[in-house]
Chains A and B, each alone.
Chain A
Amino acid sequence: MTTLTAPPKTAPPRARIRKSSGISKWKRRIPLLPALIFTIVVTQLPFVATLIISTFQWNILKPGDRHFVGLSNFKFVFTDERLRTAVLNTVVLTASVVLISVILGLGLAMLLDRRFVGRGLARTLLIAPFLVMPVAAALLWKHAIYNPDYGLLNGTLNAVYRFFGADNGPTVDWISSYPMPAVVISLVWQWTPFMMLILLAGLQAQPGDVLEAARMDGASAMATFRYVTLPHLRQYIELGVLLGTIYVVQTFDAVYTITQGGPGSQTTNLPYEIYLTMFRKYEYGEAAAAGVVVVLGSIVIATFALRTIASLFREEVSR
């Protein structure tokens, strides 16, 4: 066991690749190839197809009228009123869901970072909203909570009003009156646990001795949070914001189920608008062009996300 009692210093994997012959290089690559080829075929080729379709005038309601139109679909995408509304709605929806969930998630994570009675149970109950099937959650909010006649929200208000002697509570049609907040709240409910889990992991990775030192130096709780915890959490907050953005930008289930993009197009976001263009207007060329624009937008966000993940990743690899 001599080799084990004096283990060689672990070098980073990259350095372990010696100059090797072509054959052994390929031997290393073989296990990787199936996954790589599968991913390229299934995820990259459709985007090439999208790019090609986006240059065609193509509506299946007008058969025989499919022809190359260059960039005119993109001109349409950038000038269409509905699409501009959809872009704006997507930004509002994504930004509010992500920001509110990060703030609530941070609060919950800070509470759960301390010991208290039933902490384990509280954590388990808190992640439940994230695990409920998104479509089920959307239906639950729409019918069991927001419903003006017997939803939990109006029902509870009614019970409270009656308790204080009033005849009846207000009858608010939440979804028609506040469509965007209704969608945002249901999504915040689902995404807060996600943020909480990431931020809690960040808090727990905080070295205890630094906090101890801060306490010894007589730093107040606020100061410790502001100057020690928050800088440490920064990369976890960034990660949560970026991953959350990637997922929430793609929201389809909630809009489809709760508001169908309405009233009018008040809650139509880009994925839902593209879906409508595709399966209601059958304008394939326009849908593809909108898809290309969404991809380009995502690439911008993804660049930031990948940079953040890369920095966490390098830390982990060099550890």
Chain B
Amino acid sequence: MTHAAVAAAPGARFKKLLRRKDDHGGSPKLSPLWTFVAWLATLAFFAPVAWMVLTSFHQEADAATNPPTPFASVTFDQYKLLFSRDITPFLLNSAMASILSTLLVLALAVPAAYALSIKPVEKWTDVMFFFLSTKFLPAIAALLPVYLIVKDAGMLDNVWTLVILYTAMNLPIAVWMMRSFLAEVPKEILEAAEVDGAGLITVLWRVVAPVAMPGLAATSLICFIFSWNEFMFAVNLTATQASTAPVFLVGFITNEGLFLARLCAAATLVSLPVLIAGFAAQDKLVRGLSLGAVK
């Protein structure tokens, strides 16, 4: 049997695996009244976000009116002001901390997930639950020792400190998620490939990778979201050089008094990457948030 045959066989299986099982015979329809209720609730929940985006396109004078003036003229001034007021370094720090930590998480989590699913070590469930248990320890209890260690090491106000902490914060989520994806690699095909003497690289590339790729994408998005939004470590461990976007947000309020439209522009801007990532990963969001427990 050639490698091509090994690779062709999974194709059909994957389609079956990937077919979503939640379409249980076409779910019942909502009556018009309940459709109205559903949309009312949706709009109520979305209203603050809509208000934030709308205000960000207004002049300060139109933003702070009572009663509100949603139809005031639209302007990009607030965004221009933000960039001229140097939001850029903060965004870059955020991008660096989240992207580097996500890469580090994947580099650690993918091999670990492999050793927890495809070639499982002994007592692999115990290892899984060890990883998970670390997620349940409150970060605030670690803040003091982390602060003291980081201070002693001269690593305060350094993006790499955040990279390390965010990696530790997201590693359990990534291990659990990647394991749940790798567990879907069909065992019989793995075994067949091995019987046929396919090398490790071939097996990884032809059999494991096609199943693991969507999982990898979803896992990185989840890790990115959590690192990008993190505030407590960022505000307490950075000062001027390594501060991230959330630190910019709180700092800019206390320094300059209140500019509501510009605040909304800043809030929109810093939330945008996560909104995009989250919408893109919608289907996988719940799997990540429940640590792979719910599909």
Partner of A155, one of B66, B109, B133, B136: B66
A132 contacts which chain B residues (CB < 8 A)?
Answer: 49, 52, 267, 271, 274-275
Kindly list chain A residues whose C-beta atoms are within 8 Å of the C-beta of B122.
Answer: 17, 25
Which residues of chain A from 203 to 261 have any CB-CB distance to chain B below 8 Å in the complex? 204-208, 212, 236, 239, 243, 246, 249-250, 252-253, 256-257
Contact of B141 among A31, A47, A239 (CB under 8 A): A47
B129: nearest chain-A partner, CB-CB: A306
Contact B29 A1 (CB under 8 A): no
CB distance from B24 to the nearest CB of A (A): 3
Known: A17-B122, A128-B49. A38 touches B171 (CB 8 A): yes
Cβ of B134 within 8 Å of any chain A Cβ, yes or no, is yes
How many residues on chain A are close to B (CB under 8 Å)?
Answer: 121
Q: Is A176 an interface residue (CB 8 A)?
A: no
Bound-state Cα–Cα, A50 to B146, Å: 9
Interface contact A156-B111, CB-CB below 8 Å: no
Given known A139-B250, A140-B52, A306-B132, contact A46–B138 (CB-CB < 8 A): no
Q: Is B38 a contact partner of A111 (Cβ separation < 8 A)?
A: yes
Q: Among the listed B5, B135, B172, which residue makes an inter-chain contact with A1, where contact means beta carbons less than 8 Å apart? A: B5
* 0 or 1 for each of A31-75: is its CB under 8 Å from B? (1 = yes): 110111011001111110110010000000000000000000000
- Candidates A13, A45, A198; contact of B294 at CB < 8 Å: A198
Closest B residue to A112 by CB, please name it.
Answer: B38
Counting chain B residues whose Cβ lies within 8 A of the other chain, the interface size class is 35 or more
Closest residue on chain A to residue B24 by CB atoms: A208
Q: Report B128-149 residues with CB < 8 Å from chain A CB.
A: 128-149
Are B286 and A13 interface neighbours, CB within 8 A? no
The answer to whether B120 and A13 have CB atoms under 8 Å apart is yes
| B171: chain A residues within 8 A (beta carbon) | 35, 38-39
Instruction: Check A133 against B274 for contact (C-beta < 8 Å).
Output: yes
Inter-subunit contact A32/B115 (CB<8 Å): yes
Q: A17-B120, A144-B52, A252-B231 are in contact. Are A122 and B141 (CB under 8 A)?
A: no
Asked whether any CB of chain A lies closer than 8 Å to the CB of B202, the reply is: no
A275 touches B140 (CB 8 A): yes
Q: In the complex, which of the residues B5, B35, B145, B225 contacts A131, with contact meaning CB atoms closer than 8 Å?
A: B225
Q: A126 near B: Cβ within 8 Å?
A: yes
Taking CB atoms, residues of chain B closer than 8 Å to A271 are 138, 140, 232
Query: Residue of B at shortest CB range from A254?
Result: B231
Known: A124-B282, A132-B49, A133-B229. A294 touches B141 (CB 8 A): yes
- In the assembled complex, which residues on chain B have CB atoms less than 8 Å from the CB atom of A144? 48, 51-52, 55, 260, 263-264
Please determine whether B112 and A139 come into contact, CB atoms closer than 8 angstroms: no
Assess whether A122 is in contact with B42, with CB atoms less than 8 Å apart: yes
Provide 19 A-B residue pairs closer than 8 Å at the C-beta atoms, listed in order of the A residue: A4-B9, A42-B168, A45-B145, A47-B137, A111-B34, A115-B28, A116-B30, A127-B278, A136-B270, A143-B258, A149-B64, A150-B66, A152-B51, A189-B45, A205-B21, A243-B289, A246-B136, A252-B232, A287-B144
